[in-house]
Structures are given as C-alpha cells and as structure tokens.
Amino acid sequence: MRSLSFGDSPLVKQLLGTVMATLTVSLMVLGSGCKPIDKRSAEADVLKDIRDTTVIPDLGSYDEAIRKKSVSRILMSLQKAPDITRNLLLATIDDSMVSARTKRVICTLLADLGDLRAMAPLTRMLAEGSQAEDDLLETALLEFGERAVSGVSTVLAEGGPIARRNAAGILLGIGGSSAHDALRMRLRIEKDPEVRFLCVCGLVEDRRTTSLALLGEALDDIDEEVRRAAWGGLSRRARPPGAILFNPSGLPEVRIRQALQVRKWLEVGSVPL
C-alpha cells in the first residue's frame, strides 16, 4: 500500500480548497468595484447633483409637489454632505439670479438647522420690506427666537412701513422681555397705526406691571383699533371696577375724561392678574 504524502491528506486538501475559495471571492469583489466609499467623492457627487439640476430653483416653486420634492433632495444632500450643502445654500442667497422666494425657502431650511449664518441675510431681506405678511421670513426668524431680536428690533427702528409692520409682528411672535422692550420703545414714536396696534398687543402680553401704565397712555391714541386693543388688554389684565369705564369709539371729550380716570385708578393701586 502506498503511503499518503502531505499533499494527499484530506485535511490539507480541505484547507487548500477554503483558501482558494476565499481568494476567488476577494478577486470578484475587487473586480466588481465594491470599494469603500470615498467621502470626497460622495461630496463631489452631491455638489454636482445640486449644480447640474434645478433642485435649488425649484425650492421657490409655487407648485407644492415640485417644492416638496426639491426640499427632500436638499435634505438628502444635507445628510450625505452637510457642510458642503450648507455652504452652497448660503452662497446661493447672494446670487442675484436666484428668486427672492427661493432665497427665503433656503433661509428657512438653514434656520431649521440652527445655522446662524442665515441671520444676516434674513434681517437684510426683512429690512427691504418687499412684501407684506412675509410668512417665509417670519417662519425663519421665529425659528431663531430671541437670537433674532436684536436684528429685528433694528428693522423696527429704521425700516420702512412694510418692514416695520413685519418686524413688529415677528417680535410679537418671539415674545419675551427683549422683544417687548423693543415694541415699547417704538410705540410712542410710531406713525403707522398698524405698527402701533402690534406694539400695544405686545404690551398686553408683557406680564410686567410697568406695561399697564403704557396701555393707559395708549387710550389716547388717534386710532380706534389701537385704543380698543389697549382697553381690552387693561380689562383682562387689571380688571377695573365697574365704575371705571372707557369707550374706544366715544366722543373725543368723553374719551379724554374716561382715559384720565383709568390712569388715576392705575396709579392708586390696580392689581394686575
């Protein structure tokens, strides 16, 4: 009987077969291009996809389906390459060829991400006052909350009528002592009745007792809606007794006398709720 050589051993043959199988699989994997994903390559693909398509212009589309699809693609890009996508969005804000609506949507996306670099362009667009009730701007600035108060307060102090109205509405939405202080300061010098109305609404929501005296002063406002808002706020917050009355639409001489009585009552001991 012939003795088994080393190569004839069943165990050796099994091991050799396993090694060969492993090598074969490895070669197939390498040949098929299954290599680790290069991060730089992924970022380049994201950048190319955004630049070579209408994904950014479509952000400003009035067609809800198109806009949502574009937003979804941007969100996917932010997951794959957050830094490069954010930087590209910020650069787009300064592009004169991009529509104002698209820029507002971009700012809303960046605000949702907490990217404070969107604050300056948002404040700049607010100051332009290009449209009343600018919902996209308001949404973005409200997302920043108290961090936006300083910039919005500057627009309230220096902007045109539409810009001041939008700024006052945003400050009212943000709330808090800093926003209320800005509305207080503007009330006494503001010429636009709509802005004064919003300032008075801020005083109504301001829980500090010092706001009651300012509401008492607003009873003399030349605009009936402003007077009505001031009296309504005093009625809710201070609960004047039945003998203290005020008619916002009454004759001037009657209103002057009633407003004086209200202020005297406030001075001697109204208890705010």
Architecture, CATH, for domain 129-206 = Alpha Horseshoe (1.25)
- The DSSP 8-state label assigned to residue 55 in this structure reads T
Question: Is there a contact between 219 and 187 (Cβ–Cβ < 8 Å)?
Answer: no
d(CA 184, CA 201): 10
Phi, psi of 193 (to 5 degrees): -65, -30
The predicted pLDDT at position 56 comes to 86
Secondary structure of residue 3 in the 3-state scheme: coil
255: Cα separation from own chain's centroid: 41
For residue 55, report the phi and psi dihedrals to the nearest 5 degrees: -60, -40
Tens of pLDDT, residue by residue, the chain (273 residues) = 444 444 455 543 443 444 444 444 444 444 544 444 455 565 566 667 676 677 888 898 999 999 999 999 899 888 888 898 899 899 999 888 999 899 999 999 999 999 999 999 999 999 998 776 688 899 999 999 999 999 999 999 999 999 999 999 999 999 999 999 999 999 999 999 999 999 999 999 999 999 999 999 999 999 999 999 999 999 999 888 888 999 999 999 999 999 999 999 998 865 555
Upper half-sphere CA count for residue 127 (Cβ side, 13 Å): 15
Query: Do 140 and 108 contact (CB within 8 A), yes or no?
Result: yes
Residue count (the chain): 273
**For the chain, which residues make up each domain, given as ranges?**
39-113, 129-206, 212-273
Under DSSP, is residue 129 helix (H, G, I), strand (E, B) or coil? coil
Three-class secondary structure of residue 168 per DSSP: helix
* All residues at 6 or more sequence positions from 34 whose CB lies less than 8 Å from its CB, including other chains: none
Q: What is the pLDDT, as a whole number, of residue 66?
A: 93
Burial class (CB in 10 A: 0-12, 13-18, 19+), 103: buried
Contacts of 224 (CB under 8 A, 6+ apart): 248, 249
User: DSSP string spanning 94-124?
Assistant: T-TTS-HHHHHHHHHHHHHTT-GGGHHHHHH
Tokens at 79, concatenated: 């997951």
